[in-house]
Copies of this chain bind each other. A is one copy, B any other.
Amino acid sequence: MIHPTIARLQEVVAHGDDSQIADLLAGDVQFLPPTYWKTWTGRAPVAAILGHVGEVFSDFRYRRIMGAADDWALEFQCKIGEFDAVGVDLITLNSDGQINQFEVVMRPYKSIGVLREAIMARVTSDPRFLQYQSALS
């Protein structure tokens, strides 16, 4: 059975309503992006990053949802500009049913490179990230 948080995540993402993702995140959520070997920590910076990712991805669709209890793998497909991509959101829930780890793996290499450039351009021009710098380690 799909955990209510996972069902809600699918719903929120499907509606492109990234502002509501924050409600699903633990206060100390960790986000591990496909683009580099670093970790973002904290609800506000992670929600902001996920918001940017949601705007860079187009034609986003979840495919298979696999998992149980606190451990979930959400397979997705999308476009990044003109490039196709497939990925998995690797989600860990805490005992309150909030997302406390969100790790994203993708293919292929080229599409992740395009995503990397797009996110870097957005983050460096988003004033919120001046105060989020300490959230990246």
* Distance in Å: Cβ of A63 to nearest Cβ of chain B: 9
Asked if A105 and B106 make an inter-chain contact with CB atoms under 8 angstroms apart, the answer reads yes
Which one of A35, A83, A106 has the highest number of Cβ atoms from chain B below 10 Å of its Cβ?
A106
Of chain B, the residue at the smallest CB distance from A103 is: B86
* Number of copies of this protein chain within its complex: 2
* Distance in Å: Cβ of A86 to nearest Cβ of chain B: 6
Indicate if A21 sits at the interface (CB-CB under 8 A): no
Asked if B108 and A107 make an inter-chain contact with CB atoms under 8 angstroms apart, the answer reads no
> Which residues, 103 to 118 on A, are CB-close (under 8 Å) to B?
103-113, 116
* Distance in Å: Cβ of A28 to nearest Cβ of chain B: 20
* Distance in Å: Cβ of A85 to nearest Cβ of chain B: 8
> Which residues, 15 to 55 on A, are CB-close (under 8 Å) to B?
32-37
Asked if B105 and A88 make an inter-chain contact with CB atoms under 8 angstroms apart, the answer reads yes
Measured in the bound complex, the distance between the Cα atoms of B36 and A110 in whole Å is 7
Q: Which residues of A contact B (CB under 8 A)?
A: 32-37, 64, 66-68, 71-73, 75, 83-84, 86-88, 90, 103-113, 116
